[in-house]
A and B are shown apart, each in its own frame.
Chain A
Amino acid sequence: MNIIVCIKQVPGTNKVEVDPVTGVLKRDGVDSKMNPYDLYALETALKLKEAHGGTVTVVSMGPPQAKQIITEAFAMGADEGILLSDRKFGGSDVLATSYTLSQGISKLGHMDLILCGKQTTDGDTAQVGPEMAEYLDIPSISNVKKILEITDKSITVEMDMANTVEIAKVEFPCVLAVDKDIYQPRLPSYVKKMATKNNEIKIITFNDLDDQDEKKYGLNGSPTQVQRIFPPEANDHRELWNNTLEDIPEKLFVKIKELKFI
């Protein structure tokens, strides 16, 4: 079974601030890590490979520095690593990212299963998996909490819904976005790290892709535009009520109702 896992390099911390004067993000450019949710997708791929054989290829899109997380994936057991990197990909939103990934993945030959994490910790959108599946014209299932059965042609999974779990059987090839805790991710192994330190990371650039229309990539291929960023309003509201002075249960009831919790 050929499995692809999509991984992303994200900032090491979510603690970002906006410069109040320039309105620009202040953050450490150096500190970064693999998106924690992707570890579950990678672990799922490794578990499937152990049980059914095949290869695990990790694919990432990002700057050359993102090679670091591919190296980490090697140390966990991934067989091959691909990085889609080109300055023409810069400034991509979800749509352009999904398109670029689908273009890159279609260069990799036959695949059965593409695994993604639930979402990233920097964008939090959970949209790339389903959008990529659309571009690849294959089915997708998100919120996968358990894999139940695998045959030559299909995979049966549990999809987590609000109050129910749907048991769904989906034909290969397909995209699955797995939930946190589907399996406990293993730690990178030192032995594997040493054994794979010379593994090649294949770089795919714009020129390698089939669709050479620059308007579909990067900032140009991104329909959404960030107009501005700003710090969230801090709730520093403080009120002190006294039960001996007023009808607190009534006041409390009205307030909680006003906040839409009743």
Chain B
Amino acid sequence: MSKLIIHQNKITNIEEFIAVCPFSALENNNGIVEVNGACKMCKLCIKKGPPGAAELVEDQVKGIDKSQWEGIAVYVDHIGGDVHPITYELIGKARELADKINHKVYCVFMGKGIEDKACELLHYGVDDVFVYDYEELDHFKIDAYTSVFEDFINNNRPSAILVGATSVGRQLAPRVAARFRTGLTADCTILDIKENTDLVQIRPAFGGNIMAEIQTPNARPQIATVRYKVMNCPERKETPSGQITKCSIEKNKLTSKIKVLDVVAKPKERFIENADVLVVAGRGVRSQEDIALVKELAELLGGEIACTRPMIEAGWFDAKKQIGLSGRTVRPKLIITCGVSGSVQFAAGMNNSDYIFAINKDEKASIFKIAHYGIVGDLYDILPKLIEKIKVSGKV
């Protein structure tokens, strides 16, 4: 057990001592300083308070035998057998981690009619794919899927499990973590592994304003979720390697209190705020017909088209597509502005984007002050050639 003990006699000034805590967790109860439930154990009171006023008393933590847990496992994320590409990215990462500590890479694949789909996974560097193919696993049902996951963990005891942060993964991973009373770190952006098999997990918090490094030193399996397109997808190898293991589980473990009545395609309403990729049309686009060019690039990149205020005033776009102080604030992973000068008002709506590419004829345009890659040139020359290249690469 670890806890903070306050030594009242070492406190020189109660008010000053209380002010040290950024979480208001130190309270003055009639001259006695106490720690309340707001304590985040940041230990700032120990570091910044008068010497000896706050002390951390720690018991020896019961260690676990980490050598009993071997292998890096990946949850195969899919809907109706369609494997989500995040799975391959995670296999690539798992391979890299496993090679460092000389472990194997496992996949756990649960669903209905998925056995042949498992073969494809063998082209990406997996040692063993564990397949649970049952009628009852037709749709994602959290209770049944957790039971299967539990069976897989109990039989294989993986040291770490990587799960895609998809609609399914973000529900399933926590339930599994709670069942094993182990740690789960959401949306990791960097993963590494120590020699003692502790997973080093780095993730953003506070809306991306802070990065935290998290470890799970006294529990196994260690579970992490990762968002799509954060890790690299490994090359597909021509010859498959590894094996497929068909697993069986008692039918009574597959019962669920959830019944999926229907699965319907989602009507496509897309918002520029949610897009990972945005291509923006600015005043450099000369006519309404020419918007098609910008739109084509957006579609090829799987993104959305957005615009600046003058385009709204010209009536060429719906107001929902406008970026800026009088429009929407966006934070895509990639934004390509085409013929946008980059007013302060526009920049305020998009300057937190991960990668900003700007195409503009005027080398003095203020957009180049915020662009990571500024391109001085004519969009009418560049875009058609870029579009052609993307199309050609897609055919290969």
A residues sitting closer than 8 Å to B (CB atoms) are 11, 14-18, 22, 24-27, 29-30, 62-65, 85-91, 93-95, 98-99, 121-135, 138-143, 156, 159-171, 174, 214-215, 218-220, 222-232, 235, 237-244, 248-250, 252-253, 255-257, 259-262
Contacts and interface: CB of A to CB of B under 8 A. Distances in A.
Given A130-B171, A167-B264, A220-B2, A243 B389 contact: no
B44 to A, nearest CB: 6
A94 B264 contact: no
B37 A62 contact: yes
Given A123-B205, A235-B355, A87 B35 contact: yes
A241 B35 CA distance: 57
Contact of A243 (B256, B372, B373, B377): B377
B382 A252 contact: yes
Contact of A134 (B179, B210, B378): B179
7 contacts: A22-B44, A94-B184, A131-B174, A133-B142, A139-B258, A224-B184, A235-B354
Contact of B168 (A88, A128, A161, A174): A161
Contacts of B39: 87, 90-91
B13 to A, nearest CB: 18
A130 B174 contact: yes
Interface in B49-66: none
Interface residues of B, number: 103
A140 to B, nearest CB: 6
B22 A25 contact: yes
Given A90-B41, A130-B142, 7 more contacts: A63-B23, A122-B205, A125-B187, A132-B178, A164-B263, A243-B381, A261-B301
Contacts of B171: 130, 140-143
Please classify the interface of chain B as helix (H, G, I), strand (E, B), loop, or mixed, using the class held by over half of its residues.
Answer: mixed
A63 B210 contact: no
A224 B216 contact: yes
A50 B185 CA distance: 38
A248 B377 contact: yes
A126 B41 contact: no
B317 to A, nearest CB: 23
Among B37, B40, B173, B210, which residue has the most Cβ atoms of chain A within 10 A? B37
Contacts of A242: 363, 375-377
Contacts of B209: 14-17, 231-232
A161 B167 contact: yes
B265 interface: yes
Interface string B117-159: 0000000000000000000000111110010000000000000
Contact of B258 (A63, A99, A129, A141): A141
Given A130-B142, A171-B257, A215 B167 contact: no
A256 to B, nearest CB: 7
Contacts of A218: 41
Interface string B201-235: 00011111111111111110000000001001100
Given A90-B39, A242-B377, A249 B385 contact: yes
Contacts of A252: 357, 373, 375, 382, 386
A240 B376 contact: yes
Contacts of A17: 209
Among A215, A243, A255, which residue has the most Cβ atoms of chain B within 10 A? A243
B35 to A, nearest CB: 5
A213 to B, nearest CB: 11
B350 to A, nearest CB: 13
A251 B382 CA distance: 11
Contacts of A142: 167, 170-171
B22 A26 contact: yes
B36 A64 contact: yes
Contact of B41 (A91, A94, A230): A91
A17 B206 CA distance: 10
B213 A124 contact: no
A195 to B, nearest CB: 29
A168 B187 CA distance: 26
A261 to B, nearest CB: 5
A262 B35 contact: no
Contacts of B175: 130-131, 133-134, 140
A164 B184 CA distance: 27
A121 B207 contact: yes
Contacts of B372: 235, 237-239
A166 B368 contact: no
Nearest to A215: B1
